[in-house]
């Protein structure tokens, strides 16, 4: 079979003679079949509470699952479990389910895994992994990176509110947490951070198996926004390598109209100074996201420390993004830290030391921000009429030019339908 790599690892979780025959067919097709086990063995192996003495070889199976490419199993409910799908997502393993009934196909489709006939040939089982190339959409999405200098200028809050506001007119919007230092997007929005998230998308992008359908499956919904949550422990930062992040964001362009990316503050490349080895870089995710961005939203805290930090970091930002447009949002604006003419002071400082001419301001709105934190929801959802929500709405309308809509026809149809419904109600 052309295009199949001999290094591709496969575990066949199909019992009986069919499992042995399938292993022979897969080896003939060029796959590296590591194990042939019973259908329910992988599902049992990922349950930590299972005594290892009850499952001979469970340690070996668990080890193979961590470095596997493809798991071929059946569509039975005992074999295809939420725990197994979640574990395979974490390790970047593609599941192919052999289904002999419509009910089993529905189970496979509910989990978002590939469903094939029970007597499918090896080439058919491997084809979805190496030949999954969906048609390109009419227009590609735009990557918007939200960055700010060290401290807490409000990067995550701004990213969340931008995504919610961009989704208001019907565009498909994705929100990505690419912060390798202090990821907090999931906590701020009340989403579970134990799912596959952006790290799984990066792993699959590196293998060339990331599709728009897979992005939809591993994302979680925040109202109309699709969210790829970040790593749940900062120690997992090596999973967000530069090539992985760049490839994943490039694939996201076929998935959403706008991709809002929350990144960390540091821009240094200190690892290259202390080591000449081509190893992982702690700031690689931030650098890759900024380099991939079509637009950068730079968040500045409206206080002397925040403005000073931004001015000092601005040359480093420009060195990374080159000529990419930057929109400056001065956040937490208030007179208590800068005096009566707070906006004027910030504007003159940024014009003089950062060469910035256009900037927008968001107020210090502690009431709305606290309400959003208490509810673990975006400000747009809990305080849509607050000064902060209005400022973000104005910023999006003035500073972020809407791209050519990839789905304008669908949105126009929906608008006409809603107008017809309103007329019918008032008639």
> Is 160 in contact with 372 (CB distance < 8 Å)?
no
What's the pLDDT at 417? 46
The CB-based long-range contact list for 80-89 (8 Å cut-off, 24+ gap) reads 80/43, 80/107, 80/108, 80/111, 80/113, 81/43, 82/111, 83/43, 83/46, 83/47, 84/42, 84/43, 84/46, 85/111, 85/112, 85/113, 86/194, 86/195, 86/196, 87/46, 89/195, 89/196, 89/200, 89/218
Does the structure show a pLDDT above 90 at 411?
no
CATH 3.40.50.2300 fits 9-130, yes or no: yes
Task: Give the least confident one: 80-94, 186-200, 284-298.
Answer: 80-94
Does the structure show a pLDDT above 90 at 188?
yes
The CB-based long-range contact list for 349-356 (8 Å cut-off, 24+ gap) reads 349/307, 349/311, 350/300, 350/307, 350/310, 350/311, 353/311, 353/314, 354/310, 354/311, 354/314, 356/328
Q: What percent of the chain has pLDDT over 70?
A: 84
What's the pLDDT at 377? 94
Q: Look at residue 60 and give its three-state secondary structure.
A: helix
Q: What is the pLDDT of residues 310-322, one digit of tens each?
A: 999 999 999 999 8
Cα(173)–Cα(170) distance, integer angstroms: 9
- What is the average per-residue pLDDT within 400-426? 49
Does the structure show a pLDDT above 70 at 129?
no
List Cβ neighbours of 275 (8 Å cut-off, separation of 6 or more): none
- The structural domains of the chain, with segments of one domain joined by +, span 9-130, 142-269+278-403
pLDDT band of residue 69 (cuts 50, 70, 90) is confident
DSSP 294: S
- What is the average per-residue pLDDT within 202-222? 91
> Is 207 in contact with 70 (CB distance < 8 Å)?
no
Kind and range of the H or E element at 125?
A: helix 122-130
Residue bearing the bigger pLDDT, 6 or 46 = 46
What's the pLDDT at 28? 86
Domain 142-269+278-403: CATH superfamily, name plus number:
P-loop containing nucleotide triphosphate hydrolases (3.40.50.300)
Q: Give the E-state strand segments of 318-398 in sequence order.
A: 326-333, 359-363
- Report the candidate in 261, 234, 233, 247 with the shortest Cα–Cα distance to residue 203: 247
Q: What percent of the chain has pLDDT over 90?
A: 48
Task: Give the least confident one: 57-61, 162-166, 339-343, 386-390.
Answer: 57-61
Task: Give the least confident one: 199-203, 240-244, 416-420.
Answer: 416-420
What's the pLDDT at 27? 86
- What is the average per-residue pLDDT within 4-8? 53
Q: Does 9-130 match 142-269+278-403 in CATH topology?
A: yes
Q: Which residues in 246-258 are b (16+ Cβ under 10 Å) and which e?
A: bbbbebbbbbbbb
What's the pLDDT at 215? 94
What's the pLDDT at 393? 94
Cα(420)–Cα(336) distance, integer angstroms: 50
Look up residue 323 and give its two tokens. 């000529």
Residue bearing the bigger pLDDT, 273 or 244 = 244
What's the pLDDT at 4? 43
Mean pLDDT is highest, among 83-87, 137-141, 361-365, for 361-365
Cα(28)–Cα(337) distance, integer angstroms: 71
> pTM to 2 decimals?
0.67
What's the pLDDT at 109? 77
What's the pLDDT at 388? 95
Cα(108)–Cα(276) distance, integer angstroms: 46
Look up residue 28 and give its two tokens. 């003939």
From the CB of residue 177, how many other CB atoms can be counted at a distance below 10 Å? 28
pLDDT band of residue 135 (cuts 50, 70, 90) is very low
Task: Give the least confident one: 46-50, 88-92, 108-112, 249-253.
Answer: 46-50
Look up residue 84 and give its two tokens. 């197994």
Look up residue 419 and give its two tokens. 């107008």
- What is the average per-residue pLDDT within 181-197? 89
Q: What is the mean pLDDT of the chain?
A: 83
């Amino acid at each position: 079979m052309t295009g199949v790599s001999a290094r591709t690892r496969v575990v066949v979780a199909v019992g009986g003679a069919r499992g042995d025959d399938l292993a022979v067919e897969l080896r003939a097709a060029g796959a590296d079949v590591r194990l042939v086990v019973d259908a329910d063995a992988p599902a049992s192996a990922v349950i930590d509470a299972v005594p290892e003495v009850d499952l001979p070889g469970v340690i070996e199976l668990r080890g193979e699952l961590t470095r596997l490419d493809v798991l071929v199993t059946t569509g039975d409910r005992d074999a295809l479990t939420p725990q197994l799908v979640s574990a395979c997502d974490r390790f970047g393993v593609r599941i192919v389910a052999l289904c002999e009934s419509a009910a089993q196909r529905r189970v496979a489709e509910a989990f978002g895994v590939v469903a094939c006939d029970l007597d499918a040939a090896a080439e058919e089982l491997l084809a979805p992994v190496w030949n999954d190339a969906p048609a390109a959409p009419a227009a590609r999405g735009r990557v918007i990176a939200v960055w700010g200098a060290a401290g807490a200028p409000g990067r995550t809050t701004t990213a969340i509110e931008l995504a919610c506001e961009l989704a208001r007119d019907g565009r498909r919007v994705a929100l990505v947490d690419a912060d390798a230092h202090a990821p907090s997007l999931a906590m701020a929005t009340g989403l579970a951070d134990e799912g596959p998230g952006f790290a799984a998308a990066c792993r699959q992008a590196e293998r060339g198996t990331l599709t728009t359908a897979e992005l939809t499956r591993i994302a979680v919904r925040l109202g109309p926004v699709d969210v790829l949550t970040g790593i749940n422990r900062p120690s997992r930062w090596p999973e967000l390598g530069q090539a992985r992040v760049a490839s994943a964001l490039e694939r996201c362009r076929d998935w959403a109209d706008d991709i809002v990316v929350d990144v960390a503050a540091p821009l240094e490349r200190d690892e290259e100074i202390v080591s000449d080895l081509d190893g992982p870089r702690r700031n690689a995710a931030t650098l890759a996201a900024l380099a991939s961005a079509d637009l950068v939203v730079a968040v500045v805290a409206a206080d002397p420390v925040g403005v000073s930090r931004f001015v000092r970091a601005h040359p480093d930002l420009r060195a990374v993004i080159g000529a990419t447009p930057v929109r400056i949002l001065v956040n937490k604006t208030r007179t208590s830290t800068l005096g009566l003419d707070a906006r004027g002071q910030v504007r003159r400082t940024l014009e003089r030391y950062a060469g910035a001419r256009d900037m927008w301001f968001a107020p210090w709105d502690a009431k709305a921000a606290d309400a959003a934190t208490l509810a673990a929801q975006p400000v747009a959802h809990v305080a849509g009429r607050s000064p902060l929500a209005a400022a973000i709405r104005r910023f999006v309308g003035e500073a972020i030019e809407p791209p050519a809509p990839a789905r304008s026809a669908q949105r126009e149809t929906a608008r006409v339908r809603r107008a017809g419904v309103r007329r019918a109600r008032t008639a």
